[in-house]
Amino acid sequence: MHNKTALITGASSGFGLLTSITLAKRGWRVLATMRDLNRREKLETAARDAGVLDRIEFHALDITLAPQIAKIADLVAGRGEPLHALVNNAGFAVPGFADAVTDAELREQFDTNFFGTVAVTRALLPLMRRQGFGHVIVVTSISGRMGYPGVSSYAASKFALEGWTETLRFEMLPLGIQVVLVEPGSFETDIWTRNAKQTAGLRNPDAANATRVTRWRAKLAEGAKNRANPQVVADTIAGILENPKPKVRYVVGKNAKMGLLMRSLLPQGVFERMMIKMTGMDG
């Protein structure tokens, strides 16, 4: 038992939920935040089953709402205890072809994945600076390292987060704060179903894109069989938080590692033809 405290965003499902349980089992106190407290039941049940419910606090936090961010920052500072870790996990995807996504859809994607994450981090950094220690994890994605057809908005938001976070790391390291990127490949969570916000362009594709959308959907469904168990991401995050000198980035999952390796090894033309075929973009 080490009584360290971590705040996690998006703790109602997926990586956020599993990380909350994993850290609590390892002795952490967890401030599990979620945008809708009515969705706490899944985490509550999992925590009760694991015998760690008393180590988890539930708090409301929609990372796009400035008043809620200010409130949680006050609450954390008011506890009079250190905050050892912030896990920026909340996020979602706006799938759709780049030429069919609307400006409003693209902005909505950035409001959560980029601006929301940045705002939460900036709100909690003053406390960590006063303490002179802390870990800040930012969950991006393999889509923050390479493009993938059909997810330009998501990839753009995660690429932006990569640049911001990598820079923040240089600025915070001398102050004792460890800033780390976690880049998962494809894992079985709600991001592909409940939390995939279908764009108008995907629901009603124009004639030029219709056939490709159908093929792209079929390829995604095929790929779904290879999605991995998300517990490995939670374990990776817990390991980083317990490492006093973590690396700048952690790629998690075989498919993410394989994608980056193939892009670096294959001639560009070969790699592009392979990606186009794999995702149904051809023809």
Ligand X SMILES: NC(=O)c1ccc[n+]([C@@H]2O[C@H](COP(=O)([O-])OP(=O)(O)OC[C@H]3O[C@@H](n4cnc5c(N)ncnc54)[C@H](OP(=O)(O)O)[C@@H]3O)[C@@H](O)[C@H]2O)c1
The residues assigned a catalytic role are 154
Per rule CB under 6 A, is residue 123 in the interface with ligand X?
no
Among 26, 44, 50, 92, binds ligand X (CB under 6 A): 92
Per rule CB under 6 A, is residue 96 in the interface with ligand X?
no
Per rule CB under 6 A, is residue 14 in the interface with ligand X?
yes
Region binding ligand X by CB under 6 A among candidate stretches 61-69, 78-86, 171-179, 275-283: 61-69
Of residues 101 through 120, those in contact with ligand X by CB under 6 A are 112, 116
Q: How far is the CB of 228 from ligand X (least distance, A)?
A: 8
- The residue (of 100 and 233) whose beta carbon lies closer to ligand X is 233
- The residue (of 209 and 231) whose beta carbon lies closer to ligand X is 231
Per rule CB under 6 A, is residue 282 in the interface with ligand X?
no
Q: For helices 117-131 and 66-78, what crossing angle results, to 10°? A: 20
Q: How far is the CB of 39 from ligand X (least distance, A)?
A: 5
DSSP letter for each residue of 187-235: BSSGGGTTTB---HHHHS--HHHHHHHHHHHHHHHHHHTTPBPTHHHHH
- The residue (of 5 and 162) whose beta carbon lies closer to ligand X is 162
- The H-or-E segment that residue 6 falls in is strand 5-8
Amino acid identity, position 20: S
Give me the long-range contacts of 220-226 (CB less than 8 A, separation at least 24).
Answer: 220/150, 223/186, 224/192, 226/186, 226/255
Of residues 206 through 265, those in contact with ligand X by CB under 6 A are none
**DSSP-H helix ranges across the chain:** 14-25, 41-50, 66-78, 103-110, 117-131, 152-172, 200-203, 207-224, 231-241, 254-265, 268-278
**HSE-up (13 A, CA, CB side) for residue 194:** 8
Q: How far is the CB of 76 from ligand X (least distance, A)?
A: 16
Tell me if 53 sits within 8 A of 43, measured CB to CB. Answer: no
Per rule CB under 6 A, is residue 16 in the interface with ligand X?
yes
Who's near 208: CB < 8 A, 6+ residues apart? none
- The residue (of 16 and 96) whose beta carbon lies closer to ligand X is 16
Per rule CB under 6 A, is residue 71 in the interface with ligand X?
no
Query: Which residues does residue 179 pair with via DSSP β-bridges, in sequence order?
Result: 136
# binding residues, ligand X (CB under 6 A): 30
Per rule CB under 6 A, is residue 180 in the interface with ligand X?
no
Region binding ligand X by CB under 6 A among candidate stretches 69-77, 95-103, 181-189, 275-283: 181-189
- The residue (of 131 and 255) whose beta carbon lies closer to ligand X is 255
Per rule CB under 6 A, is residue 95 in the interface with ligand X?
no
Q: First-to-last CA distance in the chain?
A: 58
> What are the backbone dihedrals phi and psi of residue 170, each rounded to the nearest 5 degrees, phi first?
-60, -40
Per rule CB under 6 A, is residue 91 in the interface with ligand X?
yes
Strand order in the sheet with 85-88: 56-60, 29-34, 5-8, 85-88, 134-139, 177-184, 249-252
Among 90, 124, 168, 275, binds ligand X (CB under 6 A): 90
Given the rule CB under 6 A, which residues bind ligand X?
A: 9-10, 12-16, 34-36, 39, 61-64, 89-92, 112, 116, 139, 141, 184, 186-187, 189-191, 195
